[in-house]
Amino acid sequence: MRTHQPDQDVFRSVLPEDVDWQQFPGFPAQARLAVVVGDTSEHGPYTVRVKVPGGVKLMPHMHHEDRVYTVMSGVFYIGRGDEFDEAKLEAYPPGAVIVLPGGTAHFHWAKSGEYITQVSAIGPISLDYVNPIDDPRNN
C-alpha cells in the first residue's frame, strides 16, 4: 500500500498564471507569498513562492523548519546573522538552490530589483523575527 503526501495524491500542475499571490502577515506589506503545494498550517511537505519587490528588506528572522530555496527570477540577496549587515549579503542568480537549516537567523534584501524564490519545507510554516520591533505583525 502506497501512501501519498498531503496534497500530492492526484496528478496536477500549477502554471505561472495560476499562482495566487497573497499578503502574508509576517512579511512587509509589499511582499507576497503563494502556496503552490500543501497546507502550510499542517505537518507535512509544502512548497511556497515568495515575491519581494525591489528595495524591500526582510529583517533578521528564522524559521523552525529546514528550508530549500530555489531562485526563480531576479537576484536573491540573503545574509546570515542576528543583525542586518549589507556586507554579509550573498547574491544568488536564477536557478540557484540554497539550503537553510531551521533556526538559522538570516535576512533578505531585494537589492537589485524584484526577486521570486520557491521554498520547499516540512510544515507548519514559521517565521520568527530576531527583534520583535521588525515583525510587521506587531505594527
What CATH code is assigned to 18-138? 2.60.120.10
Phi-psi region of 74 (alpha: psi -120 to 50; beta: other; left: phi over 0): left
pLDDT at residue 7 tops 90: no
- The widest CA-to-CA distance across the chain, in whole angstroms, is 52
* Cα distance between residue 57 and residue 108, in whole Å: 6
* Domain ranges within the chain, ordered by starting residue: 18-138
pLDDT of residue 97: 98
pLDDT of residue 10: 87
How large is the average pLDDT for residues 37-45? 94
Cα 89 off chain centre by: 16
Q: Are 130 and 70 in contact (CB under 8 A)?
A: no
Q: Which of 137, 75, 125, 134 is nearest to 106 (CA)?
A: 134
How large is the average pLDDT for residues 66-73? 98
Does the model's pTM come out above 0.75?
yes
Q: What is the pLDDT of residues 8-27, one digit of tens each?
A: 788 989 999 999 999 999 99
